[in-house]
Amino acid sequence: MRCYSHCMPTKTPKDPRPPVAIGHVEHHVADVAKAVEWYEALGVRRIFKRGDFAVMEVRGGTHIILAKAKEKIEAGTPAPFDLIVDDVEATREECASKGMAPGKMHRGRIHDWFELTDPSGFRLTILSSHAGGRPV
C-alpha cells in the first residue's frame, strides 16, 4: 500500500503535538517483577502486570512491554531505547537518592546525559529533553 502525506493524521489548532507517536517498545528482561519496580522508581507508569509480562507507560503514551528474556543478558548491554526527561540533573540526583547508582553526567551539544544499569544489567541512557518547549 502506498501511503504518503495524505494518509497521515493532521495536527489541529487545539492539539499542536506531532500527529504520530511510538506505540510499543519490547524490552526483554531477566526478572519482570524487579524490572517493574525499578522502572516505577524511575518514574515510568505501570499499566498492567501479570506473571512474566508487564506494560509500562512513558509520557506521550508509549508503552514499554516488559517480557521475560529467553536468553542470558550480558551486563552492560545497551537498552533497546533511551529515556528523555525535562530536568536531567534533578533526575540524576533523584536516582542517586534511590540508590540507583547513576553514572557521571556527560555534556553534549544537543543533550546532557547519564547512564543507569537496570536490574537485568542493561545500560540505560537518560537524556535531557530536546523538545525546545514544544508540546510532546
Whose grid coordinates read 525546545?
Answer: 132
Question: Distance between CA atoms of 1 and 83, rounded to whole angstroms?
Answer: 33
Helices (H), the chain: 32-42, 88-97
Q: What is the pLDDT of residue 62?
A: 95
What does the CA dihedral 71, 76, 82, 88 come to, rounded to 10 degrees?
A: 150
Give pTM, 2 decimals: 0.85
For 6-29, the pLDDT digits (tens) are: 555 665 678 888 888 999 999 999
| Domains of the chain listed by start with CATH number | 22-128 (3.10.180.10)
For 66-119, the pLDDT digits (tens) are: 999 999 999 999 999 999 999 999 999 999 999 999 999 999 999 999 999 999
Q: What is the pLDDT of residue 9?
A: 61
